[in-house]
Each structure stands twice: as structure tokens, then as C-alpha cells.
Chains A and B, each alone.
Chain A
Amino acid sequence: MLETLIHGISTGSLYALIALGYTMVYGVLQFINFAHGDLVMVGAWLSLIIATSLGFSADSGIGGVLAAVFVMLISMVLCGGMGVLVERLAYRPLRQAPRLNILTTAIGVSLLIQNTGQLPFVFGTETGTMTALINDSLPMFHLGDVPIYTLDVIILTLAIGLMFALDRLVYRSKVGLAMRGVSHDVDTTALMGVNVDRVISLTFFIGTSLAAAGGTLYILKYRQVQQPADLSWIMLGLKAFVAAVVGGIGNIRGAMLGGMLIGLLEQFTRRYQSPELSDIYVFALLIVVLLAKPTGIMGKPVRTKV
């Protein structure tokens, strides 16, 4: 019970990190960035390549943690740059177009990333294995008789640290004010002297680098790095999206809450129901939330003006 709870929170914090990217992009551009899940995949693969090429090996001490953070940061920067590039090339030309067009483009971008990643000279179609940078065989301490692993503690610490930093950035800084302004009303914000293009680029950078962080922590936890078009990546992205919707899309704190909820739901159904069907429960939750409160738990109802 407690063990499942801890697994749920640890997985949930990953979903929350990824959900933040969905929700931030939705906040400023009002569309679902379907390619976000694939950028998680890119982030994970980049981390694998960085860790392997720098020759980091398993380390039970503080060195492993530092190596993991280092790999994660580089992957975040690279992946964030890629997110900005995607926005610049594929989404910016369509900013004035109907919303369905940009949604269609996002699906195209998603498949483009997946299939380019599958090319033999990019990531290939083999499953990779991440170096166990953080020792996950020895429990850090026992809570009652439940072992708590270092890996889970570190994942949770890093995820919460990133979320806290993001929260400070969005709600307590000038850039964050500009972001919230763009999300509220693009035209008025532009009139106030905010460079909207730059704010949107920055949003994509932050959202995508959080995706890369999520991807890195995901492979640190599960070790197996599936091939780029593997179903597990798509499901990871979809579940994170469900988390964003459940929490209230466009709402940053909602995404964190939604991520935790989805993680707990998934781990508990996996443990006490059937492992194969846990994905279906996640979608059932989506349907229930859409029926009961379409704006999500923390979302505010939006009136459409004619």
C-alpha cells in the first residue's frame, strides 16, 4: 500500500513535469502540442547518448547524482532548443490560421520526429539501456518495513525542485508576468510593449526542457529506452496530456496536481487491478472529468464571446 503510494508519487511527478509543457503551450497558444510527447522521447534519448558518450558509470554515491543532474541539464538545453525550432518552423507560420490546422500540423510534427528518430543514423530502432547513474538496488531508508529507494527520493526532489522553480518564474517574475499576459490576451499584451514572439519561444523552451527532464528521469527510473516510435512514448505523452486536462489545461498548478493524480491512479490500478488495463483507467478518468468538469479540477470556466 505505502509502496504503491510512493511509486505513484514518483511516477506522478514525472507526469507532472511533462504535463507542464502541454499546459504552458496551451496557455499561450490555445492548442494541444501533440509533438510534446515526442520531445520527451528525444530528451530521453539525448540523455542516453550523452551519458554513454561521456562514459558515466554506475555510482552509488553523490557522484552518480551529480552525473545524472549534469546529463539532465544538457539534455534540457538541447531539447529546449529543439522545441523552439519546432515552434519557429512549424507553428509560427500558422499562428493566424484556424486552430484545427495547427493541430493537424502538430500531429505531422509528432510523426516526423518519431520517424526521423527511427532512422539508423539518428536513434535507430533498437531498445537502449540507460546506465544506472543512481543506485536503485539498495534502499536509502525504511519507512516502517517499506524500503524507500534513493532513486525515487532523487526523482521526487528534482521534479519538485523544477516545478518550484517554474512556479516562481511564472508567478513571481517579469517574464512570467509577460507569459501570463500573452495567455490572457495576446493583442493587449503586445500593445503593452511585450515581444510576444519572444515570450512564446521562451514558453516552448521551458516547456520542452521540462519534457526533457521528465524523459531523463523516466529512463533513470525504468532504464529501458524504447525505440523512438514505440507505443510507450505515445502513451507517456497521452497520459501526461490527460494529467494536464484533469488538472485544468492552461493552469500550471493544476498540471502538477493532475500529474500526481494520474501517477497514483496508474500505480494503484496496476497493483490492485491488472497491469495491462491501467491505461484504460486513465482514459476513463479523462472521460469522467470531461463530462463532469470540462475545464478540469483547477480550471476556470471560459465564456465564449461572439
Chain B
Amino acid sequence: MPEADVQPAKLSAPRLAARSLLPLLACVGLALLFHLVAAPLMKPLHVKLAMDIGINIILAVSLNMINGFTGQFSIGHAGFMAIGAYTAGAFTYYGGLGDVWGDESFTHGILSWSRPLADFTGNLFTAGDILFLAACLVGGLMAALIGLVVGLPSLRLRGDYLAVVTLGFGDIIRLLMELSDGQLKTVADIQSTPYFQRYTHLGGASAMSGLSFMTTTFWVVLFACFTLLAAFRLRMSSHGRAFLAIRENEIAAESMGVPTTRYKVAAFVLAAGFAGFAGGLFAHQSSVLNPGDYGFIKSFDILIMVVLGGQGSISGTVIAATVITLLSEFLVRPPHLWILGLIVILLLAVFRQRKAMRAIIMVAVATIVWEIARALALHFQINLAQYRMILFALALVLIMILRPQGLLGIREVWDYLPGRKRLPTEMKA
């Protein structure tokens, strides 16, 4: 009977455990390797950049769960990041005092037990790490909760209403942060304020500062890897299949028995949670929380990473997050890029052989344009960063007109390697 063939192969318990644990261990290994070997060799500026890329990967991959997997359209992702950042930041800042944890060694001033200075490659673990991780988790949960509140009413409707609600939501979060009370700066002030009331003192429009630098390259790489792992496994799971079914055809999915609203809200809440966690990491990397940092521009940055990489492609989003983060930095301090361009062209030529011609020409043109722009900017003393948003906005419009599926569409990088059967195929919408 053919039915026997359809049954999945039964795995023995140890193999099953190995299969689920090994990727997690690999993530830890990768993070350790980066933190202990790679990061100490890099310049501080490059370490900071690598961390920015890691945090942006978490944000973009999580937005991809809504926009890519489920086919919805959220454009207020920075709002969830802000919720996570403020919750986590306030949690370590106000919760780091002895009256919560009962440990006398914690009371020598605000957070004297953790890193007062930015040292992202320092000790692997410090005294405050448990509090820090708990803070990020609480930030993520808080963002997920708010995601539920925002998602439930708006996801019952069609995609474009979600866009408006998330856009407005992002601004309202920013507004609420600006309206919050001033930050409590001294230990005496904090201890005289009841615990939950402290959380209304978020610094207002004049930033919340003095958060400890708890985020290290280890944590960023670890959680970026975890996010990727979660995204890959989610997409392969039955829940992920439901997401994809909604993206391809919501009515068909519904008629096949997929509870569409529930799954749309689930994707939204999950993505909000990851964004909140990333916000927690960001808060303890920059040490300053400024409401203006979480405006529409930030949401747009995350959106363009997803659109450029390919809505639905995880590796594409990773590439795009890296490219966009690097490009933003390059515009501030324009470096030579022709070596990088040559390497990309070489890689394309080796792996894509016949089909690579168009891509190679485009990379070559982009490299030449960059070198010309760089030379002109240096010669005429133009600040290229001023044109960043114009460039990105124009890029978004052009991607949509010329290559709406982004770099990789819904496929992954390895689907493009020679000898691979092209699965999954693009849907014609």
C-alpha cells in the first residue's frame, strides 16, 4: 500500500533530541566563536557595526514573518522595537537596585555592578546578565502583548488597513514615550518611588540615558542566530505552512480550514515579540533611549530590508539587512568598494555561470556609480548621508517597479546554487 510510504520515518529518541538540540548548540558555538575570536580582532567601530547588523537582522527577519510569510503589510515595526527597548531599559535601570534583588552589592549606585562603559567584546558574562536577559524577555513579551492588542482588531480586515493602523501605532508609541515623566536620576529618588510608578518615568522627550552596556557581540550573534533558526523552523512547521497558505490565497486557505484571523494575529504577535527583544538588545547597546529613534524612518528601514531581500526569503532578508546597515554607514564615511564588487562578481560568475550576466553587469554598474559618487562627494565636500532617505525611498520605488520580488523572491540563497532544483517556485499574483 502506498500509505506506508507517506508515513514520516520514526527517529529514535537520542537522534530526535540531537536533531532539535544540535542547531541550538551550533548557534551558541557560532556566537562564542564570534565573541572570542573574531570580535577582538576587529576595530571598535566595526564591532559596533556588526552588532547593528545583528539587531537589524532580528528586526527584519521578524517583520518578514508578517510581511513575507503571512503576506500582511505592517509598517510600524519600530513601535514594537521601542516598546521592547523602553521596557527592557527601564527594567534594568530601575530594577537593578538592591531593593528588588536584595543583594547589598547591587546598591553602590545605579548599576555599578555592570558595565558602565561600552565594551562590547569584554567579559563573556557579568553579574547583571541574568537581569539583562530577563529584561529583554520582558521587553519582548510586552511588545507581543501590545502586538495582540493592535493586531486583533486590525487583522480581521484587509491588508491596507493594517498598514494604516501600524503606521499610526508607531507614531502613538513615540508620542507616549515623549509624554512620559522625566527620568529618575539618583538612587534616593528611585527608592522613594513605588516600584511600578518608576515605569512612568521614561525620560520624556529628552531621552532616557545611563543604561548599562549589557549587550555584547555574544548576545547579539546568539539571538540573531536563534531568530533565524526560529524563522526557518517556523516556516517548515504546520503553523508556518498555514502562514504561507494565507499569503498565497487567503480565501482558499480559509476554505481549507485554516483559521486565518488566528494565524495572522499569531504571526503578528510573534514578530512583535522578536522586535521587542531586539529593542532590548538595542537599548543596552546604545545606553540612550531617544523617542525620535523609533519613528517612521526606522520602520521604513526595516521594511526596505524585507522588500529588498525578498518578502518570504530569510537568507535574502539577512543579506538585505547587512547591505542596508552597511550602506547607511558607508554614506557617512564613504570607503572604496571596488574590491567588494569584484568579489561579488567573482562569486556570481563561479556559482551562477550562464545566468549571472545580468546580475554581474548590475553589480559592476553599481560599483562604478558608487566610486564616482564617492569621488565627487569627497571632492565637493558633500555629506552623502544627507541623501540617505532619498536614496532608500527611490530604491524602494524602483525595486517595486523593476523587481518586485526583491533579491531572492521567496527562495533562499542555496536554491540558486548550481545543481539545485528550483523549489519553491514563484507564484504569479
CB within 8 Å of B: which residues of A? 31-32, 34, 90, 93-94, 97-105, 107-112, 114-116, 119, 231, 234-235, 238, 241-242, 245, 276-277, 279-280, 283, 286-287, 290-291, 294, 304, 306
Q: How far is the CA of A118 from the CA of B169 in the complex (A)?
A: 25
Q: Are B397 and A103 in contact (CB under 8 A)?
A: no
Chain B residues near A97 (CB-CB < 8 A):
400, 404, 429
Q: Are B429 and A103 in contact (CB under 8 A)?
A: no
Chain A residues near B163 (CB-CB < 8 A):
32, 34, 103, 107
Chain A residues near B75 (CB-CB < 8 A):
107
Q: Are A100 and B171 in contact (CB under 8 A)?
A: no
Q: How far is the CA of A238 from the CA of B163 in the complex (A)?
A: 11
Q: Are A98 and B429 in contact (CB under 8 A)?
A: yes
Residue from A32, A99, A104, A291 within 8 A of B164 (CB atoms)? A32
In chain B, positions 61-98 with a C-beta closer than 8 Å to chain A are 71, 73, 75
Q: How far is the CA of A241 from the CA of B164 in the complex (A)?
A: 9
Also in contact, A105 and B172, with CB within 8 A (given A111-B392, A112-B393): no
Min CB distance B389 to A, Å, is 4
Find the B residue at minimum CB distance from A111: B393
Residue from B154, B164, B386, B400 within 8 A of A105 (CB atoms)? B400
Q: How far is the CA of A291 from the CA of B155 in the complex (A)?
A: 10
Find the A residue at minimum CB distance from B300: A111
Min CB distance B426 to A, Å, is 12
Chain B residues near A287 (CB-CB < 8 A):
153-154, 165
Find the A residue at minimum CB distance from B251: A306
Q: How far is the CA of A238 from the CA of B165 in the complex (A)?
A: 10
Chain A residues near B165 (CB-CB < 8 A):
283, 286-287, 290
Q: Are B396 and A291 in contact (CB under 8 A)?
A: no
In chain B, positions 390-413 with a C-beta closer than 8 Å to chain A are 390, 392-397, 400-401, 404
Chain A residues near B386 (CB-CB < 8 A):
119
Chain A residues near B295 (CB-CB < 8 A):
231
Q: Are B394 and A112 in contact (CB under 8 A)?
A: yes
The secondary-structure label for the interface of chain B is: helix
Q: How far is the CA of A13 from the CA of B405 in the complex (A)?
A: 41
Residue from B156, B172, B397 within 8 A of A280 (CB atoms)? B172
Confirm or deny: B168 has a beta carbon within 8 angstroms of a beta carbon on chain A.
Answer: yes
Chain A residues near B396 (CB-CB < 8 A):
104-105, 107-108, 111
Q: Are A105 and B393 in contact (CB under 8 A)?
A: no
**Sample of 20 further A-B pairs with CB below 8 A, known A279-B172, A291-B153:** A32-B164, A97-B400, A98-B429, A100-B71, A100-B159, A101-B404, A103-B160, A104-B400, A107-B396, A108-B396, A108-B397, A111-B389, A111-B393, A115-B389, A234-B171, A238-B168, A238-B171, A280-B175, A286-B168, A290-B165
Q: How far is the CA of A99 from the CA of B157 in the complex (A)?
A: 14
Also in contact, A103 and B389, with CB within 8 A (given A94-B400, A94-B401, A97-B429): no
Q: Are A99 and B159 in contact (CB under 8 A)?
A: yes
Min CB distance B368 to A, Å, is 24
Q: Are A276 and B179 in contact (CB under 8 A)?
A: yes
Q: Mark B144-182, 1 if CB is under 8 A from A, else 0.
A: 000000000110110111011101110110010001000
Residue from A115, A119, A231, A235 within 8 A of B393 (CB atoms)? A115
Min CB distance A252 to B, Å, is 19
Confirm or deny: B305 has a beta carbon within 8 angstroms of a beta carbon on chain A.
Answer: no
Confirm or deny: B296 has a beta carbon within 8 angstroms of a beta carbon on chain A.
Answer: yes
Also in contact, A283 and B168, with CB within 8 A (given A94-B400, A99-B160, A107-B396): yes
Q: How far is the CA of A107 from the CA of B77 in the complex (A)?
A: 14
Q: Are A238 and B167 in contact (CB under 8 A)?
A: yes
Find the A residue at minimum CB distance from B398: A108
Residue from A105, A277, A294 within 8 A of B397 (CB atoms)? A105
Q: Are A245 and B401 in contact (CB under 8 A)?
A: no
Q: How far is the CA of A116 from the CA of B154 in the complex (A)?
A: 32
Min CB distance B191 to A, Å, is 30
Confirm or deny: B50 has a beta carbon within 8 angstroms of a beta carbon on chain A.
Answer: no
Min CB distance A48 to B, Å, is 22
Chain B residues near A108 (CB-CB < 8 A):
393-397, 400
Confirm or deny: B307 has a beta carbon within 8 angstroms of a beta carbon on chain A.
Answer: yes
Chain B residues near A103 (CB-CB < 8 A):
73, 159-160, 163
Q: How far is the CA of A141 from the CA of B61 in the complex (A)?
A: 61
Chain B residues near A114 (CB-CB < 8 A):
389
Also in contact, A294 and B157, with CB within 8 A (given A279-B175, A304-B251): yes
Min CB distance B37 to A, Å, is 40
Find the B residue at minimum CB distance from A105: B400
Q: How far is the CA of A114 from the CA of B388 in the complex (A)?
A: 12
Q: How far is the CA of A57 from the CA of B163 in the complex (A)?
A: 42
Q: How far is the CA of A112 from the CA of B251 in the complex (A)?
A: 35
Find the B residue at minimum CB distance from A291: B153
Min CB distance A246 to B, Å, is 12
Residue from B164, B171, B300, B393 within 8 A of A286 (CB atoms)? B164
Q: Are B73 and A100 in contact (CB under 8 A)?
A: yes
Residue from A105, A115, A276, A291 within 8 A of B175 (CB atoms)? A276
Find the B residue at minimum CB distance from A287: B153
